[in-house]
Structure 1
Amino acid sequence: MKAVVLSADDRFRLTETAEPVPGPGEVAVRVACAGVQWGDVLARQGHFPIPRPFVPGFEAAGHIVAVGDGVDEGRLGEQVLALIGGGGYAQVALAPAALAVPAESVDVRTAAGFGWTAPTAYDLINTVAGVEAGDSVLIHAASGAVGTLAAQFAAAAGARRIVGVAGNADRAGYARRFGYHQVLTRAEFPDALAGETFDAILDPVGGATRTANLAHLAPHGRLAVYGNLATFEPVDVPVNDLLMNGQSLITYNSHLLSRTDPVRLAAGAARALALVADGSVRIDITAEYELADVGTAIDHLASGATRGKSVVRVR
């Protein structure tokens, strides 16, 4: 089969490789489309301890063509979106059966765009930050794949005010299409907030942004941390101050959840997919690439040129 391999020299190469066979608890998915996500950038940068060469790609959509021991053969032919730890940029990918989420309600392109970003955004809003009707929400990286979905999930949860922060004016303009009441540029944050506080803040940035977010938490507010786009340097958190104000800093790691409680992750994905299927939430797929152009797709994402979600056509 054809697959894209990331080599030790950080280059992506389209090559021929053996078709994988599902082991116990696994399914093999004939991939139609694969989603491009930030994990691909981190993998190339060496942040994941994955031996090379390996086939990257962490989200794939297609149909189950084989099942391993312990998996119901009735799933053969089922259309799924697969949340995986690699192997998505190939004609066939393996996935844990629990994380091959049924996706008959959407087309395979949308399922690939759904990927890890939609369940991440859904969990951040509904489980981690616990957004409820009447809450105010601040979302960083507002124009990214998670940010554009998080704003829509916040609206679906009944948030009364949703504010975003994006990298520049152009990206802020793009983010406004997804239900934000106001979008600031990174240069305007936090001064333009004029002391406004929020019940929930989503922070994938880190560093000085994380410190500023703590100052903009309302009493009983929740700061949901799920990445370090700016820096991996640690941030000191005044726990006693949080305690006095009933505030919380909560982290979310979807990759860890996939290993410790995949059924819970899949359940959140199913609930998020239902909102996509009924039109309540829109996944904005802005670019499509061929399998041979995976490296270009990841370059565009890493450089900030990508808006919304990109997918790779495999079949």
Structure 2
Amino acid sequence: MKAVLLDTDDRYRLVELDEPTPGPGQVAIRVAYAGIQWGDIMVRDGRFPLPRPFVPGFEASGHVIAVGEGVDPGRVGAPVTALTTAGACAEVVLASAALTLDTGDLPLRTAAGLGWGAPTAYDLINTAARVRPGESVLVHAAAGSVGTLAAQFARLAGAGRIVGVAGSTARADYAAGFGYDRVVLREDLPADLDGERFDVILDPVGGATRRAALGQLAAHGRLVVFGNLGALEPVPADSGDLLMNGRSLLTYNSDLLGRTHPERLADSARRALALVADGSVRVDITAEYDLADLATAVQRLAEGATHGKSVLRVAHPRA
């Protein structure tokens, strides 16, 4: 099979490999599309120290072609989307059956766009922050895959005001199409918010953004941290000060959840998928690349040159 290897010299190479065989609890998927996400950048840059050479790719859609021990053989032939630990940038990938979801009539291109971002955004709004009707929400990285989905899930949860933060005018204009009441530029913070306080703030950035967010919470507000796109620097929080104002600092780690409680992550992924399938939520795929162009796809994401979701076309899908 064709696959992309991330080698010891940090280069991506298109190679031929043997097709993998599913083990207990696994399925093998003939990949139609693979999703591109921030984790691909972190692996490339060594922030996730995985052994090299390594077949990257953490999101795939396609059809099940084989199952391992303990998996219903009736799943063979089903169109699916899967959250993987590696290997999606190949013609065949292995995935946990628990994190492989049937997609029904949903186009496989759209299904690949769900990836880890859809359950993450769903959980940030509904499980971690527990957004209540009428509450205000501030979303950093508003033009990204998680940000565009989080705004839509927040609206469905009844949020009264949703404000996004983007890194450029072009990204702000793009994010505005996903239900934000307002999108501000990161360079204009905090002045452009004019002292506004929020019930919920979603922060994947870290550093100065995270320090400022602690002071932008309303009484009983919740800051949910789910990444470190910026500097990896500690951000101290005074528990006494949080207590006196009823504020909370929460974290969400979808990768850890997938390893410790995959059934919980799968449940959120199914709920998100259902909302996409019935048209309540839109996944916007703005860039599509060939398998051999993975290096370009990852670099463009790292540079902020893309917004929404990017995918790799691995094979011509049947659905």
TM-score class, shorter-chain normalisation, is over 0.9
Instruction: Supply the AA of the counterpart residue of 1:252.
Output: Y
Unaligned runs of 5+ in 2: none
Instruction: Supply the AA of the counterpart residue of 2:237.
Output: V
Instruction: Supply the AA of the counterpart residue of 1:109.
Output: R
Provide closer, same or farther for how the CA distance between residues 175 and 287 of structure 1 changes in structure 2, counting only shifts above 3 A: same
Instruction: Supply the AA of the counterpart residue of 1:178.
Output: F
Aligned partner of residue 297 in structure 1, secondary structure: helix
Instruction: Supply the AA of the counterpart residue of 1:201.
Output: I
Q: CA RMSD in A?
A: 0.7
Work out the CA distance in 1 between the residues paired with 2:62 and 2:282: 20
Aligned to 1:125: 125
Write the deviation string for residues 136-185 of structure 1: whole angstroms up to 9, x where unpaired. Answer: 00000001111011001101111110000000111111110111000000
Instruction: Supply the AA of the counterpart residue of 1:234.
Output: P
1:48-197 to 2 correspondence within 5 Å? 48-197=48-197
Aligned to 1:8: 8
Aligned partner of residue 147 in structure 1, secondary structure: helix
1:20-59 to 2 correspondence within 5 Å? 20-59=20-59
Task: Using the TM superposition, give the Cα deviation of residue 105 of structure 1 relative to its aligned residue in structure 2, in angstroms.
Answer: 3.9
Work out the CA distance in 2 between the residues paired with 1:75 and 1:175: 37
Work out the CA distance in 2 between the residues paired with 1:252 and 1:273: 20
Task: Using the TM superposition, give the Cα deviation of residue 227 of structure 1 relative to its aligned residue in structure 2, in angstroms.
Answer: 0.6
Instruction: Supply the AA of the counterpart residue of 2:262.
Output: P
Task: Using the TM superposition, give the Cα deviation of residue 279 of structure 1 relative to its aligned residue in structure 2, in angstroms.
Answer: 0.8
Aligned to 2:213: 213
Aligned to 2:252: 252
Q: How many residues align?
A: 315
Instruction: Supply the AA of the counterpart residue of 2:217.
Output: L
Identity of aligned pairs, percent? 65
Unaligned runs of 5+ in 1: none
TM-score, reference length from structure 1: 0.99
Work out the CA distance in 2 between the residues paired with 1:90 and 1:289: 13
TM-score, reference length from structure 2: 0.98
Task: Using the TM superposition, give the Cα deviation of residue 247 of structure 1 relative to its aligned residue in structure 2, in angstroms.
Answer: 1.1
Work out the CA distance in 1 between the residues paired with 2:96 and 2:184: 40
Work out the CA distance in 1 between the residues paired with 2:230 and 2:311: 25
Task: Using the TM superposition, give the Cα deviation of residue 56 of structure 1 relative to its aligned residue in structure 2, in angstroms.
Answer: 0.1
Work out the CA distance in 1 between the residues paired with 2:290 and 2:147: 25
Aligned to 1:232: 232
Aligned partner of residue 34 in structure 1, secondary structure: strand
Instruction: Supply the AA of the counterpart residue of 2:182.
Output: Q
Work out the CA distance in 1 between the residues paired with 2:92 and 2:112: 14
Work out the CA distance in 1 between the residues paired with 2:23 and 2:226: 31
